[in-house]
Structure 1
Amino acid sequence: ATSFVTQYLTAARGQEDQVTAMLAQGAGRRLSLPEKPSPIGAATPGEAVQTSDGSWVVTVAVDQPSESGAAIRRYWQVPVLTDAAGGIAAAGLPSLVAAPTAGDLEVDQGDAINDSAVQDTVTAFMQAYLTGQGEVAPLTAPESSLSAVQPTPFQELSISSLTTTQELPEEPAEGDLLRAQISVTATAADGGSARLDYTVELRYRDRWEVAAINPTTAGPTTTTGEQS
């Protein structure tokens, strides 16, 4: 959704194909772009609300210049479609909306994961996914379509935190699912660093494997192994 909003706002007349390439079939048939693109600053993903199976509405915050030149934050919503194979596409063009209110919302950070098998899988996967060190495929579940980020954005990274709100099975069983929250500190070739947060879903076969990254379902299937 963030990439789509950025592409939509920065595209100009004659670049319609670049925008429609990110749309689901049948969407955006009447797309009309301005003669000049809109300058924007940072675009940040926000709330994602599931409206039905495979359908989401995602809010993206974008810093855009005002008439005075000062940056103001605007919010855009995008309808998104997903499928079981990992496919994702925008179902329509972005809509400008009012700023959301935080209210009393609170994130449950869960507890630290100290299981070395989970730690090793997550660390190796994130290294391969973001730095190109190692291969992604051997660390993922067979039905997963995950691939490394290209071009490789970082040279090195470390896992700052690894937590879950689930009880970790003491003896994992075939098919057990575990959803973990990861904070990563990554360093680029120019020395710049970034703090990145991910949600990763792991599935157990004879070992833990990554089944999805930032999964689009409300929660994992309850684990079946013996609980600690």
Structure 2
Amino acid sequence: MKRARRQARREQQNWPVDSVAEASEPARAEQGDADVEQFAGWKTSTAGLAGLTRLARLGTWALIASGPLIGVMALFGSSAPAQSAPKATRAVRSSASTGPAGFAQLFVGAYLEAGEGTEKNLAPYYSGSVSLTHPAGMRSALRTQAMDAREISPGYWSVTVAVNVAAKSKKGGYTDAGVQYFRVAVQSSGSDDTSAYTAVSLPAQVAAPAALKPGALGYPTSRGTGSSDPASDTAASFLKAYVAGQGELDRYTSPGVHLFPVVPPPYTSIKLTSVQDNSKNDASTKVPGDGVRRRLLVSIDATDADGNTFPLTYALGLTARAGRWEVSSLDDAPATAATSRPPSSAPNSQATFAPSVPSTPGGSAPSFGS
């Protein structure tokens, strides 16, 4: 009995301790779990950082290793148009007359020199039947020049060729037969890479175009040989240096004007034969104030080393400075009078060169010859 009471007392005394121990056990477990989680989380973070470092290092080496490849890709990529950029349009082939004109010149040259037995020489230009009865080589083209080339319908050209013809005489020599004109009808067919031409017929000899009377020039005043004109003296000295090598051009030109002499000098001396200018008839021989301008049309006789004399004409612009005239321009062409214009058309002018065009039904250009 006493033993039972002592056991009960002992259990009663130990209860709070056990209870506290039991109650604190979950707390210690939770704290331990928290510590474990905190420790484990720190270890996880360190591992993650270490992994990221390794990945970054590997990425750097991969970037270095792929540098050349990236450079090549960038090079090709930079040459490609951006996605938003419009696509380049295909170039349109122009209808330039250079090809048809050159073809016509070659054809006329071959035509003039061909004769009986050499008709095959025309095959590259004309595929039609040709029968010639005169001996070959009776005529020859010394020089040819396309004077007019017009596209009278798409791919169909009319070309007029001027030819300096040499004709064979009965004695066997050649004489100058003058300049003659031939009209050639040429069909052309071209793509982006190639062009082809053919004549639809043999050449037609035509009349020369009418000579055009030029309009008046802008030099109304004649100074003769300009012996008493300071501007004429400057022009003469300038031209001596320019074509005869006598003196330096810079002595006679305005500041900032850069002209170059003819090298080697083709002539040994020059002589003024005519001077015209745009000043008034009563112009003083005294040089005016700085900045005054004057235009001269100067004709000269130029003599070469063999004593041969050739006439030449130059259009010059002069400007007054410091009491003297200086050449400020060597003009590309003489000035024309503002109120004078050549006629817009004349009989037998180039406007008459275009032949009548054979056409297929519907007005389209004829088909190309084989």
* Structure of greater Rg: 2
Q: Superposition RMSD on alpha carbons, in Å?
A: 3.9
SS in structure 1 of the partner of residue 273 of structure 2: strand
Q: Higher strand share goes to which structure?
A: 1
Judged with a 3 Å threshold, the aligned counterparts in structure 2 of structure 1 residues 142 and 129 are, in CA distance, closer, same or farther, namely: same
Q: Is the CA contact 1:183–1:198 (under 8 Å) kept in the aligned structure 2? A: yes
Q: CA deviation at 1:119?
A: 3.0
Q: Is the CA contact 1:137–1:147 (under 8 Å) kept in the aligned structure 2? A: no
Q: CA deviation at 1:191?
A: 1.4
Q: CA deviation at 1:165?
A: 3.1
Judged with a 3 Å threshold, the aligned counterparts in structure 2 of structure 1 residues 191 and 177 are, in CA distance, closer, same or farther, namely: same
Judged with a 3 Å threshold, the aligned counterparts in structure 2 of structure 1 residues 184 and 142 are, in CA distance, closer, same or farther, namely: same
Partner of 1:199: 315
The residue type paired with residue 205 of structure 1 is R
Matched, 1:39 2:142: yes
Partner of 1:182: 298
The residue type paired with residue 208 of structure 1 is W
State which of 253, 258, 262 in structure 2 corresponds to 1:149: 262
State which of 303, 309, 326 in structure 2 corresponds to 1:209: 326
CA deviations on 1:155-178 (whole Å, 9 max, x unpaired) are 111111222231236551211111
CA deviations on 1:42-74 (whole Å, 9 max, x unpaired) are x9xxxxxxxxxxxxxxxxxx9842375612177
SS in structure 2 of the partner of residue 120 of structure 1: helix
State which of 222, 245, 251 in structure 2 corresponds to 1:111: 222
Q: Is the CA contact 2:254–2:319 (under 8 Å) kept in the aligned structure 1? A: yes
Q: What is the alpha-carbon distance in structure 2 between the residues aligned to residue 101 and residue 164 of structure 1?
A: 24
SS in structure 1 of the partner of residue 231 of structure 2: helix
SS in structure 2 of the partner of residue 39 of structure 1: strand
Q: What is the alpha-carbon distance in structure 1 between the residues aligned to residue 264 and residue 162 of structure 2?
A: 25
Judged with a 3 Å threshold, the aligned counterparts in structure 2 of structure 1 residues 73 and 171 are, in CA distance, closer, same or farther, namely: farther
Structure 2 stretches of 5 or more lacking a match? 1-95, 110-140, 146-160, 168-175, 182-207, 337-370
State which of 178, 190, 210 in structure 2 corresponds to 1:71: 178
Q: What is the alpha-carbon distance in structure 2 between the residues aligned to residue 190 and residue 208 of structure 1?
A: 33
Q: What is the alpha-carbon distance in structure 1 between the residues aligned to residue 328 and residue 257 of structure 2?
A: 6
Identity %: 25
Partner of 1:132: 245
TM-score by length of 1: 0.53
Q: What is the alpha-carbon distance in structure 1 between the residues aligned to residue 162 and residue 258 of structure 2?
A: 32
Runs of 4+ in structure 1 displaced over 6 angstroms?
Answer: 34-38
SS in structure 2 of the partner of residue 40 of structure 1: strand
Q: Higher helix share goes to which structure?
A: 2
Aligned residues: 152
Q: What is the alpha-carbon distance in structure 2 between the residues aligned to residue 100 and residue 182 of structure 1?
A: 25
SS in structure 2 of the partner of residue 149 of structure 1: coil
Q: Is the CA contact 1:201–1:215 (under 8 Å) kept in the aligned structure 2? A: no
Q: What is the alpha-carbon distance in structure 1 between the residues aligned to residue 212 and residue 298 of structure 2?
A: 26
The residue type paired with residue 164 of structure 1 is D
